[in-house]
Amino acid sequence: MGPTAQEPPSQDPRDALRARTRGLLESIVRPLARAGVSPNVLTVVGFLAMVGVAWVLALGHQRLAGLLIIFVGLFDALDGALARMTGEASAFGAFLDSTLDRFAEIALYLGLLYLYRGDTLATVLVYLTITGSLMVSYTRARAEGLGLDCKVGLFTRLERLAVLIVGLILERTLWALVVLAIFSNLTALQRMWHVRGAAAEESSERPH
């Protein structure tokens, strides 16, 4: 009986997308690497650009804001590609990137709060969406701080931004907020359930 072919490991679709676009991103950042641009500079520029998008959103230009988020979102991928190419990847760079990502997302929802000021339903939806978004990030960070893997989740930042972009471009922002308010919080609960199981499994494997 011949050797059995091993099944290729299952891959997260998000990781597969990053792998396919890596070559393109590296070709974009190569001139920046030659110019000596720091990955952290790109991270900060991307954050400031997203604050600008939030201002555009607050002024009521929903479709334009949706299109701008797509463009500005490239910075989130470019800084990592630049860090890998230049060998400047660092713990602080990763921390700065994740932290400013959270602030950028909060800025977008602040723009929505201003846009829908006086609308109670929209205000509640934005509040629930911000809560879910932060808790999705916190549950992963806390789990990893305890040494547990926690990358599971229906609505990570990529999915949240995708839903928001579609809602803004189609000018169906309230419906997008309904989806985000529900599924971001469900994702936080999903991660809590996952960590519960992972912690129990780790505990059972420890010698008594």
Active site positions, annotated:
101
Asked whether the CA dihedral 188, 189, 195, 198 is positive or negative, the reply is negative
Q: How many C-alpha atoms does 190 have within 13 Å on its Cβ side? A: 16
Q: Which amino acid is it at 76? A: D
Q: What is the DSSP string of the chain?
A: -PPPPPPPPP--HHHHHHHHHHHHHHHHHHHHHHHT--HHHHHHHHHHHHHHHHHHHHTT-HHHHHHHHHHHHHHHHHHHHHHHHHT---HHHHHHHHHHHHHHHHHHHHHHHHHTTT-HHHHHHHHHHHHHHHHHHHHHHHHHHTT------SS-HHHHHHHHHHHHHTT-HHHHHHHHHHHHHHHHHHHHHHHHHHHHHHHHHS--
